[in-house]
Amino acid sequence: MPQRNSSLDAVKGFTILLVMLGHALVLNEINDPYVYDGIKAVQMPLFMMVSGYLCGRSAKVGNIRDYGRMVGRRALGYMLPFFAWTLVFHLDDFTWAFPAYLEQPERGMWFLVTLFVLTVMAYTAQLAAAWTGRLWGKLAVHGAGEPGGKAAEAGGRSKKAAAAAAFWGCYGLLALLVLLQLRAGIPWLGPHLTRIYIPYYMAAYVFGSQETIIFRYVNRKLRYGLAAAGGVLCLAVVVREDLMVMESTWDYLLQTAASFGGCAAVFAAFYGMGDNPAKRFFAWLGRYTLEIYSIHYHFARLLNPGVLTFAVYSPRWFLFVGESFLLMAGLTALVVLAGKFLPAVNYVLYGKKDSIWAWLRRRRAGGR
């Protein structure tokens, strides 16, 4: 089993707790001017950046067979749970629900659709880069001279440059298609959501694919200094602006900058943190983000009496939010644990083959 990145898992675990807290606020219609804005600024961008980073670090598409295999794997991981949960909530009218949810993904677990689209865009660009690299290599081989010569080295560099140009050219065309789809008013697969999250996904993709080079030229002190400055920027925007409003290009740019800054601060905090119980807890939680996301919000309003009369940030406000969060977390944990005893359900609803039985077998074998 590949070694997990505990810092990355900890980021995911921290983020899912932010999502839960945000839903405890917004689903109970608590009009909080700061906390939810801060959560909104980073919660989904963090998830998109984690996925983009992993895609950038993982093996790339090399041919059409790789492309089909990798897209199929993402379809099982993202779209199978999307359709399964849609079916769970619409057993009586699923023939309406499936096309309706694809037309408007925000009706359900939209982020799975958006992640699938973003990942397929990256895989398609990788395929274009692989094809271009092979074609360029064939065209340049006749002028390469002896192996290891300067001409061969130059040919290798030009091949990489051609592949990179093909990648970004293809990705740019795909992004343009998303914008044209949005402009034409075609809502299928949520182009408005794809447009918002392309910058986060691809920024992390580039970082993941070029991490060694970035670390070579940008020292640790500068990286963490920039992350700290980004965190300050995010907090300043949260305090001064209403992040629930995105009506102009300026709103979009400001919120995007704040989100990047906040995300950089979160990543730096966990990557700079040594091993400790808190980080291990967040890392453990980060292995179950899809399960938690799929379930938790159903329990967010259980303590809501219908009318909330207390003032924001009053002692009763903190007590109600805390109680709602803890009850939601406890019930979610019970449901997730129950699902681990049913491998087929675990696979269909969450796209995961792991189960409590597999975990017990690993424990008996001395694994973790």
Query: DSSP for 87-150?
Result: HHHTTTSHHHHHHHHHHSGGGS-HHHHHHHHHHHHHHHHHHHHHHHHHHHHHHHGGG--STTSH
What stretch of H or E contains 365?
none
Q: For residue 333, what are the CA distances in angstroms to 16, 217, 357?
A: 13, 43, 17
Query: What is the dihedral sign for C-alpha 13, 24, 355, 52?
Result: negative
- Residue 300's pLDDT is 93
Query: What is the dihedral sign for C-alpha 54, 55, 56, 60?
Result: positive
Please tell me the distance from the alpha carbon of residue 1 to that of residue 9, in angstroms, as a whole number: 16
Integer Rg of the chain from CA: 23
- Residue 333's pLDDT is 94
H helices of 58-93, where? Answer: 64-74, 80-89
Q: How crowded is residue 297: how many other Cβ atoms within 10 Å of its Cβ?
A: 18
pTM for this prediction: 0.90
Q: What is the DSSP letter of 240?
A: H
Cα angle vertex 55, ends 53, 60, to 5°? 135
Query: What is the dihedral sign for C-alpha 113, 332, 46, 253?
Result: positive
Residue pair 320/310 in contact by the 8 Å Cβ criterion: yes
Q: Dihedral angle at the C-alpha atoms of 290, 37, 256, 280, nearest 10 degrees?
A: -40
Residue pair 12/286 in contact by the 8 Å Cβ criterion: yes
Please tell me the distance from the alpha carbon of residue 96 to that of residue 76, in angstroms, as a whole number: 22
How far apart, in Å, do the first and last CA atoms of the chain sit?
Answer: 10
356 by DSSP, 3-state: which?
helix
Residue pair 296/23 in contact by the 8 Å Cβ criterion: yes
Q: What is the DSSP letter of 272?
A: S
Residue 120 φ then ψ, to 5°: -65, -35
Please tell me the distance from the alpha carbon of residue 116 to that of residue 80, in angstroms, as a whole number: 11
- Residue 174's pLDDT is 98
32 by DSSP, 3-state: which?
coil
- Tens digit of pLDDT at every position of the chain (368 positions): 457 889 999 999 999 999 999 999 999 988 788 999 999 999 999 999 999 999 999 999 999 999 999 999 999 889 999 999 999 888 888 889 999 999 999 888 899 999 999 999 999 999 999 999 988 877 765 555 555 555 555 556 788 899 999 999 999 999 999 999 999 999 999 999 999 999 999 999 999 999 999 999 999 999 999 999 999 999 999 998 888 777 788 888 899 999 999 999 999 999 999 999 999 999 999 999 999 998 999 999 999 988 888 888 999 999 999 999 999 999 999 998 888 788 788 888 887 776 555 656 666 676 54
- Residue 69's pLDDT is 95
Place of tokens 């040594």: 274
Please tell me the distance from the alpha carbon of residue 191 to that of residue 311, in angstroms, as a whole number: 38
236-245 contact pairs (CB < 8 A, 24+): 237/41, 238/34, 238/37, 238/38, 238/41, 239/34, 241/37, 242/33, 242/37, 243/37, 243/40, 243/41, 244/37, 244/40
What stretch of H or E contains 79?
none
- Residue 149's pLDDT is 53
295 by DSSP, 3-state: which?
helix
Q: What are the extents of the domains in the chain?
A: 6-364
